[in-house]
Chain A
C-alpha cells in the first residue's frame, strides 16, 4: 500500500489535526491540573500553618539563645 506523501504543509498542520488538537488539550489540562493541585496544596497544607517568626530578633535568638544573650565572662 502506498500512503500519500506528508508534505511540509501537512507536517506544519499536525497540531491542527485531530491528534494535534488532542495533544494541545492534554497539555492544557495538564497545566490546569497542576495549577489546581498546587493551589490546593497551598491552601490546605501551607496557608493554615503558623508562620515561623523570622524577625531579626528571632533570628538572633536562633544563633544566640536567650540564656546566652549576655556576654560570656570566661573563655571556653
Chain B
C-alpha cells in the first residue's frame, strides 16, 4: 500500500508549483503577441509613439518572463524527486515533448528576448519586428509542447505498456503530437493567455487615464487591448467548448463531475446552471437546469447519451475486474514468457490494467482484493465534485464577463470615448486579477478533475510517487514556499515600481506634454 500522506504532500507541492508558475505563463504568452502587434503598427505607420509603447510594455514583459522561467524549472525538479516512478513509467512518452519544450523555452525564447531588448539600436525596423514576432511564436510554441505532454496525460494515445520494461513506450509519435485533446487544450490555453495579457494592458492603461497620466500611450494601448481582448475572449469560449467536447469523448467521469450529473439523463442532457452538489447523498440540491444544453455541448448531437457518475462507477467496477485478469496474466507472463494463454488474456484485457492498479491504494496484491475493496476502488474514480462544479462555473462566468467588458471597451474605443466614463475606468482597473483567477480555475478543472489518475486510465496518481518519506517532501515543500514567496515579493515590487513610474516617469515618452510642432507621434 502507498503512504497517503506522501501522495497528498507530493500532489500539494506540484499543485502549488504549477499554480504559481501559471501566474506568469499566460502573461508571457499574450503580451509577446501584443508587443508584436504594437511594433507592427510602428513599422507600418512610422509613428514614434508605437515604438515607445512596445518598449514600455516590453519592460513589464521582461520582468514577467525572467520570473516565470525559474518557476517552471522547479516542476522539473519534482519529476525526479517526488514523482520518480511516474517519470520512469511514462518517461518514454513524456520526455520528448518536455525536452523539445525546454529547448524552445531556453534557446529560442531566451535568444529572441535578448535580441528584443538589446537589438533596438542594432537592427533595422523590419528586422526587429521579425525578432518580436519570432519571440511571440517561440513563446507560444513552447506552450504547445507542454500541452502535448499534458494532453497525453488526459488522453494517452500513441503508446503501449511494455511488459519487459514495465512502462509505457511510444508506438506512434505523430499520434502523441496530434492528440486532439492536446490540440484543443493548446488553443484554449493560449487564447486564455491573450485575454489575460489584454486585461493587463487594459487595466494598467485605465489606471493611467484615471490619474491623468500618459494619456496618449494609455488610450492607444487600451484600443489595442480592447480589440485583441474581444477577439481572444470570444475564441476562449468557442475553443473551450471544443475542449469540453474532447473531455466528453475520453474523460467522461471528469465531465459528469463538472456537471454534478449523478445519474445518466435521457439525451440531450440538461446543463446545471446552479446547484448544491451533495457528495454523501450523490444528489444535487436546488438544481436550476437549462434543458438540452449539456447534451448538445458534450456530444454535438440530440440523441447521444452522457453517462452519469453512478453509471461510470459501475463501469469502473467492471473494468477493475477485467484489469485484475490482465494483472494476473501479466504475472504469469513474467514467470513464463512463452505462456500463450497468458499472452491472450493479457492482450484481451491490457487496456484495463490501470484500473487493477487502483487497488494498489487499498491492498498490496490486487489478486487478493475483496468485492468491498473493488467497490471502494471504483468509487475512488470520482473526483471532487463540488470543487469541479464551482470552479468550472466561476471560470465560465469570468469568461462571459470578459466578453462583455472587452466589447464595451471596443465600443468606447471606436467612439474615442475611452476616458469619458470614470466608472468604466475603475471597473477595468478592478478587473485586473480576474483573468488570473479564471486561468487558475481552469487548471483546477483540468488537473484536479483528472484525479485519481496521473495518466487517465493507465496510472493512478498514488503509484507515481517516489519511495521517499512524507517528512522529506514536507521539508522540500517548505523550501519551495520560501523560494516562491521571495520571488513573488521581488516580482511584485519590480512590476509595481515600473508601472507606477510609467512611460513619463521613465522618460520614454513625455506624458501629456505636447511634442515640438511637426513631429509625428
On A, residues with C-beta under 8 Å from B are: 1-8, 11-17, 19, 23, 26-27, 30-31, 33-34, 37-38, 40-42, 44-46, 49-50, 52-54, 56, 58-60, 62-65, 67-72, 74-76
Contacts and interface: CB of A to CB of B under 8 A. Distances in A.
Contacts of A59: 85, 88-89, 166-167
Contact of A52 (B81, B165, B487, B507): B81
A47 to B, nearest CB: 10
Nearest to B508: A14
Contacts of A45: 475-476, 478-480
Contacts of A65: 360, 364-365
Interface string B504-521: 001111100111110100
Contacts of B283: none
A18 to B, nearest CB: 8
A8 B487 CA distance: 36
- Interface range on chain B (Cβ under 8 Å from partner): 35 or more
A63 B166 contact: yes
A10 B238 CA distance: 44
Contacts of A46: 77, 81, 476, 479
Interface in B473-502: 475-476, 478-480, 483, 486-487, 490, 494, 498, 501
Contact of A50 (B472, B483, B501, B508): B472
Given A2-B513, A11-B55, A60 B166 contact: yes
B516 A49 contact: no
B507 A50 contact: no
Q: Which of B87, B331, B501 has the most CB of A within 10 A?
A: B331
B499 to A, nearest CB: 13
Contacts of B364: 65, 67-68
Is chain A's binding surface mostly helix, strand, loop or mixed? helix
Contacts of A53: 467
Contacts of B369: 76
Contacts, number: 166
A58 B467 CA distance: 9
Contacts of B73: 38
A72 B367 contact: yes
B121 A49 contact: no
A38 to B, nearest CB: 6
A44 B479 contact: yes
Nearest to A29: B490
Given A14-B55, A14-B508, A76-B325, A49 B513 contact: no
Contacts of A23: 59, 62, 498, 506
Contact of B84 (A5, A16, A52): A52
Contacts of A17: 507
Given A26-B494, A37-B483, A64 B331 contact: yes
Nearest to A44: B479
A59 to B, nearest CB: 5
A70 to B, nearest CB: 7
Given A2-B514, A5-B516, A41-B480, A12 B120 contact: yes
Contacts of A74: 367
B515 A27 contact: no
Contacts of B506: 19, 23
Nearest to A5: B519
